[in-house]
Amino acid sequence: MNSSVLVAGGGIGGLAAAFALARQGVSLTVVEQAPAFGEAGAGLQLGPNALRVLADWGLREAVDAVAAWPDALLVRDAAGGRALGQMRLGSAFAQRHGQPYACLHRADLHELLLQAAQAQAGVVWRLATRVASVTERSDTVRVVLDNDEALVCTAAIGCDGLWSRVRHAVVDTAAPVPTGHIAYRGLIPAAALPPALRAPRVQVWLGPRLHVVHYPVRRGEAFNLVAVVHAHGAAPDDARSWSEPATRADLQTALGPLHRDLAAWLDAVPAWTRWVLHDREPLSGPHGMANGRLALLGDAAHPMRPYLAQGAAMALEDAWALGRLASAPGVADWPQRFERYAALRWARNAQVQHRSRRNGTVFHARGPLRWARNAAMALLGERLLDNPWLYRGPGDDPRPA
Ligand SMILES: Cc1cc2nc3c(=O)[nH]c(=O)nc-3n(C[C@H](O)[C@H](O)[C@H](O)COP(=O)(O)OP(=O)(O)OC[C@H]3O[C@@H](n4cnc5c(N)ncnc54)[C@H](O)[C@@H]3O)c2cc1C
């Protein structure tokens, strides 16, 4: 037997799971297909629920060193520029929810989780190693790698993202489905922006069949910008890629008239990439997250559309729950632990999946729905933009004090 538990995938969820379990004394092998851990991705938003997890792990200081702290979430009309709604994200927000709202470069969050996990004993790291298949046996799990090497472990956790292979042995072999939306992304050095646009703010621009969001990362040294439009023209060559090269011209055809501030933001992007958004039906029960000695975590179980900015947060929450269960009294073995984990996590993840989908429809609305959305935002303001049910998370503690 090579190790006790195999973690497939060393993305945000895999590293978080490795850290959460290793600090409870679980010995692990982390298998990541990439040849090296490095600068990948762009921005991520972390609400108070995610920061609560990181604080519980003693990682708030590491987050504070790299995060940007937006003072507000401002929603504007993409064509006219009119402010449609605003929620303050400063101290009142932090007091209300017990933690603030942060924006990070994905690579910075990845790096701080990697350092935290590598500081734990009992973790074997295998890069350039791809899981091909996973089979559960009566009291072990057999993992076959792409090079035909076989590993035998007591349990396996699929943190292998949207196109998960571990998922095949837990739920189904169906591929994720394109949502019909394409995300264009760029990272803008703050110095490249006109000073008037550099406010530390999450800004969301809504238009028919499109929205654009930008926010500061890296202590405000850069801004991440993502424009999501309905698919048009030729599909990118690699549907799985997070960073297919793209041009402003590719995006322009999907955009209508733009307010001058928004046009200035788009003009400031030095290089564009794009990815085709895919997802799966929201979870319908605990069976979507675990089966016997196998469990799924993060996007492998519940890919999130990016309209509630909770993909990374839900992976962190999953990992937190697993870590707590690893030392919870009365849960003696992995099948039992995974059963409790799935029971605890599936409904919250499903709720976030549903709400993310609904937000997408509202963000991109046309006609009467657009009118109703704007009227509701004007009337309810912060109350509509806040999500106490979500930000109170990560939900029930499997190991109450
Ligand atoms: C390169 C990259 C860039 C991203 N950029 C952004 C971004 O800019 N903004 C954003 O909101 N989200 C981004 N995401 C997605 C975001 O990180 C996730 O949606 C979220 O954090 C949930 O994390 P996860 O660990 O479940 O999945 P992921 O972060 O996707 O991690 C999955 C990991 O598993 C590895 N893997 C996959 N298959 C196998 C296999 N068979 N064997 C071994 N390893 C495997 C992958 O290489 C990856 O490291 C990115 C993901 C990746 C992989």
pLDDT of residue 52 exceeding 80: yes
pLDDT (0 to 100) of residue 237: 61
Indicate the pTM of the whole model.
Answer: 0.96
Q: What is the mean pLDDT of residues 98-120?
A: 97
Q: Is-contact 55 393, C-beta < 8 A?
A: no
- Expressed in angstroms and rounded, the spacing between residue 242 Cα and the centre of ligand 1 is 9
| Per-residue model confidence (pLDDT) at position 1 | 47
List the residue whose alpha carbon is closest to atom 49 of ligand 1: 11
- Is the pLDDT at 2 greater than 60? The verdict is no
Mean pLDDT of 352-380: 94
Pocket around ligand 1 at a 6 A CB cut-off: 8-14, 31-34, 40-44, 106, 130-131, 159-161, 165, 242, 298-300, 306, 311-312, 315
pLDDT of 169 over the 60 cut? yes
Lowest mean pLDDT among 89-93, 274-278, 327-331: 327-331
* pLDDT one-digit tens code per residue, 214-234: 999 999 999 999 999 987 665
Q: Catalytic site residue 215?
A: yes
What local confidence, expressed as pLDDT, does residue 231 receive? 78
What pLDDT does 38 receive?
77
Catalytic, out of 184, 215, 341, 391: 215
Residues with Cβ within 8 Å of 356's Cβ and at least 6 positions away in sequence, in order, are 304, 305, 306, 307, 308, 310
Centre of ligand 1 to C-alpha 54, Å, is 19
Say which CATH class 5-66+99-175+281-360 falls into: alpha beta
Mutate to test the pocket of ligand 1, among 242, 283, 297, 320 (most ligand atoms within 8 A of CB): 242
Q: How far apart are CA 90 and CA 108, in angstroms?
A: 22
Helices (H), 57-145: 60-66, 91-97, 106-118
Distance CA 396, CA 330 (A): 17
Give CA separation, 239 vs 24, 181, 224, in Å.
Answer: 38, 12, 21
| 226 Cα–ligand 1 center, Å | 17
**To the nearest whole number, what is the mean pLDDT of the chain?**
93
pLDDT grade, residue 401 (50/70/90)?
Answer: low
Nearest to 166 by CA among 334, 293, 342: 293
Q: What is the mean pLDDT of residues 143-149?
A: 96
User: Using CA positions, which residue lies closest to atom 13 of ligand 1?
Assistant: 41
- Per-residue pLDDT at 219: 96
Report how far Cα 199 is from the mean position of its chain's Cα atoms.
24
- Taking 90 as the threshold, does the pLDDT of residue 91 lie above it? yes
Work out which ligand 1 atom sits closest to the CA atom of 16: 25
Which residue owns the Cα nearest ligand 1 atom 10?
44
Q: Where are the domains of the chain?
A: 5-66+99-175+281-360
Give residue 11 CA to ligand 1 midpoint distance, Å. 5
Q: What is the mean pLDDT of residues 138-150?
A: 95
**Which ligand 1 atom is nearest residue 164's CA?**
38
Helix segments in 286-333, DSSP class H: 311-326
Which atom, in ligand 1's list, is nearest to the CA of 34?
47
Question: How many A from CA of 251 to the centre of ligand 1?
Answer: 24
For 56-90, b where at least 16 C-beta lie within 10 A, e where not — what string? ebebbebbeebbbbbbbbbbbbbbeeeebbbbbbe
**Model confidence at 240, in pLDDT bands (50, 70, 90)?**
confident
pLDDT digits (tens, 9 = 90+) for 263-311: 999 999 999 999 899 999 999 999 999 999 999 999 999 999 999 999 9
Residue nearest to atom 50 of ligand 1 (CA): 41
Q: What are the backbone dihedrals phi and psi of residue 253, each rounded to the nearest 5 degrees, phi first?
A: -60, -25
